[in-house]
Amino acid sequence: MTSDLPPAPAPSPPPLAAARAGVPDHGEPPKYFQVKQKIDAVLDELGPGAPLPTERVFADRFGVSRMTVRQAIRELRLEGRVQRSGRSSVAGQPKLVQPLTLASYTEGVRRQGRRPGRRPVVFEQLPATPALAAALHIPPGAPVHHLERLLLADDEQVGLESTYLSVARFPSLQAEFDPATSLYAHLRTHGTTFADADERIETVLASPREVQLIGTSPALPMLLLNRITRDHTGAPVECVRSLYRGDRFSFTAHLTEEQ
């Protein structure tokens, strides 16, 4: 006797299985990733600046091909765990931890026992674009100071920063300010206060010009911060575009519950 009932529907896959439909269950991590984890542990033992064993030494030690070792080291280099020193590789320095506060780059790096620096690239006046004018509360086309500087830590180029300020508010900035020093310290000395800022963070790849200036790989992920800083009256002080090497920086923020 046959049933007139329709066949029962197939059971729905659990949410995770549905989300992974078409994605293979990898199970054991890829061999290069396992080697990467082992080399990462070796880096902790070696300490910053210590030379790495050769690819052949790692390959023999872990029983894998040199190509597998090369892929593992390539990823560790992108993460900043391995750095080049001439033609060899060394264990990388710890990342600079930059707090998301109103402290300047100079102050943040110095607190970590590193030597901050800035190398001027451009210090000029430009007409404000509509977007920049809106951010600084000035008319479109009004003159702005454009200060572009390479960011240094212990003489290593780690980022690129562009700052925009209203010429009407800071008419003598180019005559009085040394662009190799801290802009925040200069502005505070001349009576400017900093109260709050809005900041947006995203990951990007550097442009060809930025790659050349910073001296990094085009494939290296960068951290882009766009900030508008205001004084205690709520008036904008600056617009800043900061580009940081993803293998040299991490950022922290202190969060509190809204009242």
pLDDT tens track for 213-227: 999 889 889 999 999
Lowest mean pLDDT among 9-18, 73-82, 112-121, 196-205: 9-18
pLDDT at position 97:
77
Could you say which of 73, 91, 109 is where a domain stops? 91
Domain stop point among 91, 116, 144: 91
Task: Flag whether 4 is in a domain.
Answer: no
* Domain count of the fold of the chain: 2
Is residue 61 located within the same domain as residue 100? no
Q: How would residue 96 be classed by pLDDT, with cut points 50, 70 and 90?
A: confident
Instruction: Classify residue 221 as exposed, middle or buried by CB count within 10 Å of its CB (0-12, 13-18, 19+).
Output: middle
Residue 243, pLDDT > 60, answer yes
Between the alpha carbon of residue 181 and those of residues 126, 134, 213, the distances in Å are: 22, 28, 19
Are 100 and 200 within one domain?
A: yes
Residue 24: the pLDDT is 47
Bridge partners of 123? 147
Same domain? 58 vs 164: no
Please tell me what DSSP assigns to residue 51. B
Residue-number span of the structural domain to which 229 is assigned: 96-252
Q: What is the pTM of this model?
A: 0.72
Token pair of 33, please?
């990733």
Ramachandran region, residue 191 (left: φ > 0; alpha: ψ -120 to 50; beta: rest) = left
- The reply to whether 259 falls in a domain is no
Q: Residue 20: what pLDDT?
A: 44
Which residues are CB-neighbours of 174 under 8 A, at least 6 positions away?
123, 125, 145
Same domain for 107 and 176, yes or no, is: yes
pLDDT of the residue at 203: 93
In a domain? residue 62? yes
| 120 and 42 inside one domain | no
Note whether 66 and 165 are same-domain residues.
no
* Shared-domain flag, residues 115 and 152: yes
Q: Do residues 108 and 184 share a domain?
A: yes
pLDDT band at 241 (very low <50, low <70, confident <90, very high): very high
Residue 102 DSSP one-character state: S
